[in-house]
Amino acid sequence: MKEFFTLPSLKRIASAYALPARKSLGQHFLLDEGITNQIARCAGDLTLYNVIEIGPGPGGLTRSLLKAGAKKLFVVEKDARCIAIMNQLQEVAGARLEIIHGDALETDLIKTIPAPRKIVANLPYNAGTVMLLRWLEDVYVQGTEAFASLTLMFQKEVAERIVAGHGNRNYGRLSVISQWLCDCRYDFELPPEAFTPPPKVSSAVITLTPRGKPLVDVSKDALEKVVAKAFGQRRKMLRQALRGMAAPADVLLEKAGIDGTLRAEQLDVMTLGRLAQCHAELAAVSGKKDRTP
Ligand code: SAM
């Protein structure tokens, strides 16, 4: 079997395989091994895990994950040009690398790849948030059994929304659902020049570690409904923003012990969870349905 040092550099790979980036696939490549090693380190120990990389592209992060000792690495890639590059990498990695040529949005990672799993990826810019929401649904159903952790590169603005705490202007629906299910850590930022081609904005790596149990015992559907309503008009006081729900806003806020003059962004995840619990209880008693916002 060949050794890693016999592989051509990532720059040579990208030009040999005629890999001009495709905007439609959100392609911004990382060709600096120092950076891809840093991302791999954020994911912690990989030696006991089936590591999943979405969109390996020219394979910089892929190489770092293999070198970091991933027990087995599954790559899911839509672009056939990158699959050819992965086939070459497989000559070095052997059975430790499994290549899945397909759309990550149509791949059920839980059914396809055995636990324990960690995801590590520089996500396509245009589909990162949708992918995260799918995996959070898996975490809701299976908890830590779904994924031990998810180390993900997003546009900086999206990463900031995921980790933002209450009172922060970036705090919203994505922060609440992510933090209700996972401990969310901001790892580091990268400027546009770190990528080929450079995107218009900076990026950031974050790590989500699923909790054993969600922060508050309430259904995801109930929490999403209340949070969507509360943040739907985020500048309004809660007693106005929550109008049109199955339970009258003032009754709901009183039951939850929340001041109706506050705004959604002032409530932490626990308090929003309590609001959702109270709403579910009141709605069950009244049998009324919410009006859509
Ligand atoms: N990991 C590489 C790196 O860091 O250089 C490439 C990252 S690039 C931001 C995103 C990668 O995701 C590209 O290789 C792209 O082809 C791939 N991709 C885009 N949409 C995808 C999808 N729906 N399913 C699987 N891969 C996808």
List Cα–Cα distances, 173 to 6, 186, 224, 240, in angstroms: 47, 18, 8, 18
Confidence (pLDDT) at 26: 83
The whole-number pLDDT of residue 2 equals 63
Which tokens sit at 52? 């999943």
Q: How many domains does the chain have?
A: 2
Q: Are residues 125 and 224 in the same domain?
A: no
Low-confidence winner among 20-29, 86-95, 134-143 (lowest mean pLDDT): 20-29
Contacts of 221 (CB under 8 A, 6+ apart): none
Ligand 1 pocket test: pick from 31, 78, 101, 123 the residue with the most ligand atoms within 8 Å of its Cβ: 78
CA distances from 11 to 27, 31, 36, 56, 108 (A): 15, 7, 14, 15, 32
Predicted confidence at residue 74, as pLDDT, reads: 98
- pLDDT of res. 151: 98
291: in domain: no
Among 189, 210, 231, the domain boundary falls at 210
Question: Is the Cβ atom of 55 under 6 angstroms away from ligand 1?
Answer: yes
Residue 256 placed within a domain: yes
Percent of the chain with pLDDT over 90: 84
> Does residue 102 register a pLDDT over 80?
yes
> Domain check: are 225 and 205 in the same one?
no
**Residue 28 alpha carbon to ligand 1 centre in Å:** 8
The whole-number pLDDT of residue 16 equals: 64
The H-or-E segment that residue 238 falls in is helix 238-241
Task: Check whether residue 177 and residue 79 sit in a common domain.
Answer: yes
Residue 200 included in any domain:
yes
Q: Which of 76, 82, 79 is nearest to 107 (CA)?
A: 76
CATH for 232:
1.10.8.100
Task: Report the distance separating Cα 66 and Cα 168, nearest Å.
Answer: 38
Is residue 230 located within the same domain as residue 137?
no
Alpha-carbon distance of 226 to 242, in angstroms, equals 8
The verdict on 136 and 103 lying in the same domain is yes
**How much is the average pLDDT of 235-254?**
94
Mean pLDDT of 256-270: 97
Whether residue 14 is predicted with pLDDT greater than 90 in this model: the reply is: no
d(CA 169, CA 280): 28
**Is the alpha carbon torsion for 102, 103, 107, 109 positive or negative?**
positive
Amino acid at 29: F
Asked whether residue 160 falls in the same domain as residue 50, the answer is: yes
Residue range(s) defining the domain that contains residue 243: 220-286
Q: What is the CATH number of the domain that holds 158?
A: 3.40.50.150
* Structural domain contains residue 292: no
**Minimum CA distance residue for ligand 1 atom 5:** 29
Instruction: Note whether residue 293 is domain-resident.
Output: no
pLDDT at 250: 95
The atom of ligand 1 lying closest to the CA of 10 is 5
Token pair in block for residue 60: 């910089």
Question: Could you tell me if the CB of 57 is within 6 A of ligand 1?
Answer: yes
- 43 lies in some domain: yes
Rounded average pLDDT over 83-87: 95
pLDDT of the residue at 125: 86
**Which pLDDT score is estimated for 285?**
83
Residue 85 and residue 117 in one domain: yes
Report the pLDDT value the prediction gives residue 9, as an integer from 0 to 100: 82
Q: Which pair of structure tokens corresponds to residue 289?
A: 């349905």
Q: Which of ligand 1's atoms lies nearest the C-alpha of 36?
A: 4
What per-residue confidence (pLDDT) applies to 133?
Answer: 98
Kindly indicate the confidence band of residue 13, based on its pLDDT and cuts at 50, 70 and 90. confident
Task: Tell me, yes or no, whether 112 lies in a domain.
Answer: yes
180 alpha carbon to ligand 1 midpoint, in Å? 28
Does 202 share its domain with 235? no
State the pLDDT confidence band at 22, using cuts at 50, 70 and 90.
confident
Strand (E) or helix (H) holding 231: helix 220-232
Q: What's residue 5's pLDDT?
A: 66
Which tokens sit at 31? 């060709």
**Which of 175, 210, 245 delimits the end of a domain?**
210
CA–CA distance, 200 with 192 (Å, rounded to integer): 7
pLDDT at 103 (0 to 100): 97
Beta strands in 144-242 (DSSP E): 149-155, 182-190, 203-210
Q: Tell which phi-psi region holds residue 26, choosing left (phi > 0), alpha (psi between -120 and 50) or beta.
A: left
| Euclidean distance between CA atoms 63 and 277, whole angstroms | 46
Q: What is the pLDDT of residues 165-199, one digit of tens each?
A: 999 999 999 999 999 999 999 999 999 999 999 99
Question: Do 48 and 189 belong together in one domain?
Answer: yes
Angle at 150 between CA 26 and CA 225, to 5 degrees: 85
Rounded average pLDDT over 231-242 = 95
Confidence at residue 293, expressed as pLDDT on a 0 to 100 scale:
52
Choose among 204, 181, 178: nearest CA to 191.
204
**Judging by DSSP bridges, how do beta strands 50-54 and 72-77 pair with one another?**
parallel
Share of the chain above pLDDT 70, in %: 95
Q: Name the domain boundary from 210, 232, 249.
A: 210
Residue 292, pLDDT score: 54
Q: In this structure, are 195 and 240 located in the same domain? A: no
Is residue 246 situated within a structural domain? yes
Q: Are strands 149-155 and 203-210 parallel, antiparallel or unpaired?
A: antiparallel
Residues 258 and 175 in one domain: no
99 alpha carbon, distance to own chain's centre = 21
Residue 21 CA to ligand 1 center (angstroms) comes to 10
Q: Are residues 157 and 23 in the same domain?
A: yes
Residue 4 has pLDDT above 90, yes or no: no
